[in-house]
Every structure is written in structure tokens, then in C-alpha cells.
């Protein structure tokens, strides 16, 4: 099957990240010319090096291995931390009117990188121009906007015993700790990845990019898998890395 990248000008209008003003169905209807037709069930890739898509759960979402298939995961509007539930939209299946019928999404669940299909009616979709690259060998975190680096910083990474997992993930939540002077600093950018070794930890050992109260650790391989940034840098990243931002972690 020939895949192509959709942009919001050909698939749907951009929805506001907080408080979507229109439904995805209404937005799609405005963005697709009425006379256009598609082959129902056709799937297309979503995203590029400069553009990503996030799917925000409206009230509840069920995920299946194929559209309309057996459900293997369910999510509410908010996750266990009280943050909005967000998926990374990687593909879309359209109906005969070229409207989104289902999205292929990556979800924040083990095994790392697991994907499935969610009905288009269950999510609102927005586009993002940001992405994050983590280079573990260089111990660097780089934030890009529209393909251009706008922040580059040295980070602490996972130790040899508790390494930072590698792979393609996304920002799934942004949390503000109760103590800005604590081990997570002023904020934590949660990633849809989990430690490969700390499986017994609370919530399954989630990975995050966060601040620190141990500035001496920056640039060293000493963490339990998370990525630590100096607190001033973390504040800048936190403000710009919105939910759904792709995160690539490589060695």
C-alpha cells in the first residue's frame, strides 16, 4: 500500500490542545472537499520530521490490534496522575468520504512502543511542530521545533544497572512536583517509556525528563533510567515540549 503524509490542510483543521472547540468529525468535514472520495479502509502514515500528531482522549478510549478488533487496552480521559490521556497518532484509516475512521496510536503501556487502533470518535487530534532527541552516548537532550534545534543541553542518564530505554516514544504527561526543590526539580516531562529493569516500581517504572536537586549528576550515568536536566533548562523544555511531542532515545 502506498502511504503518504497528511497535513492538517488535507485531513482536518487544527484543534486547540486544551478545550477543543470542534469535534474531529466536524474539523475533518471542513478540511476535506465534499466531492472528494476515498477507498474505505485505506490507511495512511501520519507525521514527518517536522510534524507530529497527538490524539487526546475525549472521555474514554479503547485500543485494539486492528480497527474494530478485540480490545486489549482501555483508557479514561485522565491517567492515574490526573493528567489528560494522550496517545501519539502514527497513522489514520479513512472512510469512503476521506474522513478519519480510526487512528493508529502508540500508547503509554508495556511493552515499550506498543501500538493499536482507536476509533476517531474517541479522540481529538492536534498537530505539533516539536520533537525531542536524546543521545545517550553524548548524554545530550535536544529539542527541535519545525526541524530546527532550539534547545540543546547535557543531561544525566541511566546507570549501567538501570539504563535509560531506547526507542521511539512521546511525551504523554507533564507534571509539576509538589516540592520544586526535590529530586524532580520544578517539573517532569513524562515519556511513554518504561524501565526495562525496574518493573516492580510504582506505575511500572515510567521514564521522564525532569529537573534535579543533585546538579553534580548532570553529564553522568547515574539515574534510575530517567533523564535529568539542570532546573533552568528543564523549565524551558517543560514550557515547549507539549503532550504528544515525539521523543527518540538512541545510544
| pLDDT above 90 for 136 | yes
Kindly report the pTM of this predicted structure. 0.85
Q: What angle do CA 16, 17, 22 make, to 5 degrees?
A: 40
Compute the distance between CA of residue 62 and CA of residue 72 in angstroms, rounded to an integer.
8
Given a cut of 60, is residue 32 above it in pLDDT? no
Whether 38 is catalytic is: no
Query: Is pLDDT of 190 > 60?
Result: yes
| pLDDT over threshold 90, residue 201 | no
Residue 210 known to be catalytic: yes
pLDDT for 35 equals: 52
Nearest to 204, CA basis, from 112, 113, 85, 133: 112
Are the C-beta atoms of residues 77 and 88 closer than 8 Å to each other? no
Least confident of 31-35, 94-98, 151-155: 31-35
Does pLDDT of 6 surpass 90?
Answer: no
CA distance to 3, 43, 124, 127, 134, per residue, from 150 (Å)? 30, 33, 28, 18, 14
Options 20, 44, 98, 210, the catalytic residue: 210
All domains of the chain in start order, with CATH: 24-128 (2.30.30), 130-250 (2.40.440.10)
Percentage of the residues of the chain whose pLDDT score is greater than 90: 81
Tell me the backbone φ, ψ of residue 29, rounded to 5 degrees: -65, -35
Mean pLDDT of the residues in the chain: 88
Amino acid at each position: 500500500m502506498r502511504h503518504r503524509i497528511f497535513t492538517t490542510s488535507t485531513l482536518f483543521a487544527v484543534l486547540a490542545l486544551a478545550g477543543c472547540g470542534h469535534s474531529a468529525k466536524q474539523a475533518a468535514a471542513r478540511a476535506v472537499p465534499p466531492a472528494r472520495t476515498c477507498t474505505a479502509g485505506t490507511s495512511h502514515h501520519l507525521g514527518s520530521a517536522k510534524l507530529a500528531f497527538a490524539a487526546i482522549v475525549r472521555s474514554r478510549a479503547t485500543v485494539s490490534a486492528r480497527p474494530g478488533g478485540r480490545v486489549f487496552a482501555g483508557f479514561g480521559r485522565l491517567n492515574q496522575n490526573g493528567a489528560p490521556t494522550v496517545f501519539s497518532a502514527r497513522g489514520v484509516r479513512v472512510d469512503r468520504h476521506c474522513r478519519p475512521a480510526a487512528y493508529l496510536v502508540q500508547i503509554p503501556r508495556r511493552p515499550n512502543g506498543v501500538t493499536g487502533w482507536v476509533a476517531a470518535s474517541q479522540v481529538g487530534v492536534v498537530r505539533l511542530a516539536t520533537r525531542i532527541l536524546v543521545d545517550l552516548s553524548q548524554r545530550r537532550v535536544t529539542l527541535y521545533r519545525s526541524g530546527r534545534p532550539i534547545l540543546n543541553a547535557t543531561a544525566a542518564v541511566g546507570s549501567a544497572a538501570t539504563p535509560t530505554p531506547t526507542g521511539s516514544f512521546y511525551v504523554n504527561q507533564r507534571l509539576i512536583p509538589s516540592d520544586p526543590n526535590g529530586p524532580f526539580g520544578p517539573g517532569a516531562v513524562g515519556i511513554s517509556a518504561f524501565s526495562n529493569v525496574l518493573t516492580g516500581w510504582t506505575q511500572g517504572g515510567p521514564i521522564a525528563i525532569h529537573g534535579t536537586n543533585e546538579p553534580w549528576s548532570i553529564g553522568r550515568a547515574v539515574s534510575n533510567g530517567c533523564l535529568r536536566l539542570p532546573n533552568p533548562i528543564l523549565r524551558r523544555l517543560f514550557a515547549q515540549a507539549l503532550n504528544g511531542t515525539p521523543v527518540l532515545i538512541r545510544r
